[in-house]
Structure 1
Amino acid sequence: MANLSTVMPQLSWPEVWGRRLGRHGLSAPFPGRAVDAVAAMCGAHAQVLSAAEVSIGLRVAGVTRSDVRDALWNERSLVKTFGPRGTVHLLPSRELPLWTGALGALPPSSNSLSADARLTPDQTDEVVAAIAEALADAELTIDELTAAVVASSGSWAADPVVPAFGGMWPRWRQAMHLAAHRGVLCFGPNQGRKVTYTSPQRWLPGFQPAPAPDALAGLVRHYLHAYGPATPQHFAQWLSAPRRWAAQLFDSLADELQPVDVAGTVAWVTAGDTAPTPVPAHGVRLLPYFDAYTVGCHPREQLFPGAAAQRALSGGQAGNFPVLLIDGTVAGIWHLRRSGRKLNITVEPLTTLTVAQRRDLDEQADRIGEILEGRPHLTIGTVTVGGHA
């Protein structure tokens, strides 16, 4: 890593929040397209698509859920796939070579299944190859994809050994996110209420993952631009990767990185990226479930100060509650319940709002109504539902 004996640039936490808000389009929305916001935040978590639509819409002036879906299924500037932590994300199609090159190079994650339930490395490769063949020229539901994988690999692939949502998934599904990380699977458009899967090669002719060293270096640069200053441990947590591996990766990029002092803590930015933002952290935002800012920013004790840690974190995990963000840090939670076109938004602040903050909150509720193409009704009160409800 770079020599720490030299005098390090210093940043305060308000300066860090200002940098991050600006780079996420949260201090002022971007003027561009949905894909530009997704690139800026290093992917939008999309297990619940409406949450991704809000994440993107808050960052791009005028964008609605229809624009996001058009970018996905018509323009194809976005792709829905398994991203960081093996979770469903929207990623820029133009960056898919980088993402697959990097994610496909991550060390194998720990597996909590019993030894007799796990896929062997050879079985994993066989399943990924079967997925690639099945999706090369098709959009398949999960049942259709299961049938194709079992027909190619054998009956062992169908063994119901993976606990999931009150039932058991077939053995092959352990490799599903790996197939996405290796660039042979992404989501296709729904068939009614059924999810489909296809190959990104169908939409991106000539696509293939970038070489791993270049892709990993590019991902570190992307991450530090959006979430820096940060440590290798923060990067590891964001990716769900081993800490030692992340530290070694940062060491290998020592010539490209620079340490900074953030209120007495050493963290890292890309070399030369040390200036504080000219715009201080300011304003009110209503961030949805698993918003990239909430999940990617560290350390948690700074992002979730005081009572926010008890109210808005779930076992130390960020994202299970939509959060009220004031001046870059969490200051409450909120919940949305949709009834037809009516959007009932309940916000529970953890501090007394000023007149200006209440005005900003009203504007945020109106903006969410525009994004989700509904009629918002804002209530200040206690959120009674649990996390991820």
Structure 2
Amino acid sequence: MTVTISWEAASARRLERQFLANPATGAAAVPTVVASMLGAHAQVLSAAELSIGVRITGATRTDVRAALWEHRTLVKTHGPRGTVHLLPTRDLPLWTSALPAIPSGASPFAPEVRVTEQQAQQIVTAIEDALDGACLTIDELSDKVVARTGPWAGDRVMPAFQGMWPRWRQVLHRAGQSGALCFGPDRGRKVTYTRSPRFDPLPATEAVPALLLRYLHAYGPATPAYFAKWLAAPTAWAARLFEEQAASGAIEEVAFEGASAWVAAGDTEFPSRGWRGVRLLPYFDAYGIAAQPRESLFPGEAYGRALARGQAGNYPVLLVDGAVAGVWHLRRQGKRAVVTVEVLGPSSGALKARQEEALAEQVDRLGEVLEARPELVRGEVRVGPHA
């Protein structure tokens, strides 16, 4: 008999496994929490610090930075979707084998801008050699990559924010995903790069299925389309992977939200009821990006208000009982952290008494993570996405 899973049960289990329902305790839990999230999106490092901090009682942004730059239990590098993430150092053997094995879509660049596969591999090798024992800015790294490859790599043909970048930079994320590169501490206002810690990578034939099982543990039940969207991978590739793992007995089918979905084999225990509580999640929090289906996580007005053209992560969100019920915005004013919360829905911004109390506690928690004095303001969030 096929097990049937409700949205409420799936949401409650995901929140538990994300340390959102019951936060971990103490700074030593930082890498464990990041592993449970399958990485913390860190294009904006302060958002990653909040994502991790709200999942650990007593942790602050200083603890996250210490894990990254002092203890080196975290690494800042290119993770899922080629975007910058914080990943546990101990998980690099898996990530750096699985991510390069995922087929990418068509190049967004014009044919005369692209690099061949042979050139891409040459660039990654040059990056790895240049960063061995060094910590370089992007300009310093560019000089060394071009010296090791040839002038073609330095041609400024790649459209960028304020001009043109050298050709080789379209491969930068591949270097991060393969372990040739990670971020180093900032040098003043300049970003630096260095070589990732040494490790023995897993065979890709082991790493890709292992990544799927970790994803299903954290975010299941899931479909191939959900997995592909999370990775920015071709859906057909994900479907074949699911078929292979189902045939091997590693995953099993369940009924979820009126459709077929999958969990890791034997992992069919779910809470008997939905989670009740309030959480504030920052920009690009892993839960908001990976949890599916979007229509259930962002019900009603939240679908149009808390997503940017259907893309999750561009707004910090208010979770009430496991679903998005509002948006919020943080403004730093010296040592103050002013948190404006806009509640959505037919209740015209009203929350129940227990939810109001929980919201105030969450704002206090944000202040603790930020090492600032928190202040809650109720009202309309007027800023746009990713402001």
TM-score by length of 2: 0.96
Change (3 A) 1:278 1:371: farther
Write the distance in 1 (CA, Å) between the matches of 2:138 and 2:9. Answer: 46
Q: What is the percent sequence identity of the aligned residues?
A: 56
Tell me whether 1:58 sits opposite 2:54 in the alignment: yes
CA distance in 2, matches of 1:175, 1:343: 38
Q: Which amino acid is the alignment partner of residue 73 of structure 1?
A: W
Q: Is the 8 A contact 2:60 2:368 kept in 1?
A: yes
1:354 aligns with 2:356: no
Instruction: Note if contact 1:290-1:318 (Cα within 8 Å) is conserved in structure 2.
Output: yes
Aligned to 2:294: 300
Match for 2:318 among 318, 324, 334?
Answer: 324
CA contact (8 A) 1:183 1:209 kept: no
Contact persistence 1:183–1:208 (CA under 8 A): no
Gaps of 5+ in 1: 1-6
Q: CA deviation at 1:80?
A: 0.4
Report whether the alignment pairs 1:161 with 2:170. Answer: no
Give 1:237's aligned amino acid: K
On the 8 A contact 1:78/1:92 being kept in 2, the answer is: yes
Greater mean deviation of Cα atoms: 27-36 or 360-369: 27-36
Taking the TM superposition and a 5 Å limit, the aligned residue runs for 1:212-291 are 212-254=204-246, 255-277=249-271, 280-291=274-285
**Residue number in structure 2 paired with 1:40:** 36
- Name the residue aligned to 1:102: 98
Tell me the secondary structure at the aligned position of residue 358 of structure 2.
helix
1:138-217 matched pairs, under 5 angstroms: 138-201=134-197, 205=198, 207-217=199-209
**1:45-124 paired onto structure 2 within 5 Å:** 45-124=41-120
Indicate the residue corresponding to 1:128 in structure 2: 124
> For structure 1, which segment, 28-37 or 320-329, has the greater mean C-alpha deviation from structure 2 after superposition?
28-37
Structure 1 counterpart of 2:260, one-letter code: V
How many angstroms does 1:279 deviate by? Answer: 6.4
SS of 1:104's equivalent in the other structure is helix
- Is it true that 1:27 corresponds to 2:21 in the alignment? yes
Cα separation, 2, equivalents of 1:174 and 1:209:
24
**Helix, strand or coil for the counterpart of 2:56?**
coil
Distance of 1:142 and 1:166 partners within structure 2:
15
The alpha carbon displacement at 1:189 in A equals 1.1
* AA matched with 2:172: M
Q: CA deviation digits over 1:45-82, x for unaligned, max 9? A: 00111100110011111110000000001111100000
1:15 lines up with 2:6 in the alignment: no
TM-score, normalised to structure 1's length?
0.96
Paired letter, 2:331: R
- Residue 4 of structure 1 corresponds to none
Q: Secondary structure at the match of 2:283?
A: coil
Q: 1:372 aligns with which of 370, 373, 377?
A: 370
Task: Indicate conservation of the 8 Å contact 1:17/1:327, yes or no.
Answer: no
C-alpha separation in 1, matches of 2:21 and 2:108: 41
Contact 1:182 1:209 in 2 (8 A): no
Secondary structure of the 1:200 match is: coil
Q: How far 1:145 sits from its partner (Å)? A: 0.3
AA matched with 1:287: L
- Shift, 1:277, TM fit: 2.1
- Determine the C-alpha separation between the residues in 1 that align with 2:84 and 2:170: 15
Deviation at 1:278, TM superposition (A): 5.4
- For residue 133 of structure 2, the aligned residue among 121, 126, 137 is 137
User: What is the identity, as a one-letter code, of the residue corresponding to 1:199?
Assistant: R
Do 2:8 and 2:273's aligned partners in 1 also have CA atoms closer than 8 Å? no
Structure 1 distance, partners of 2:200, 2:154, is 29
Equivalent position SS for 1:196: strand
Q: Deviations over 1:2-39 (max 9, x none)?
A: xxxxx211111111110111010111101351111100
Query: What corresponds to 2:307 in structure 1?
Result: 313
| Map of 2:383 onto structure 1 | 385
Kindly tell me the number of residue pairs found equivalent between the two proteins: 379
Question: Given residue 308 of structure 1, which amino acid in structure 2 is its aligned partner?
Answer: A
Residue number in structure 2 paired with 1:3:
none
Partner of 2:337: 343
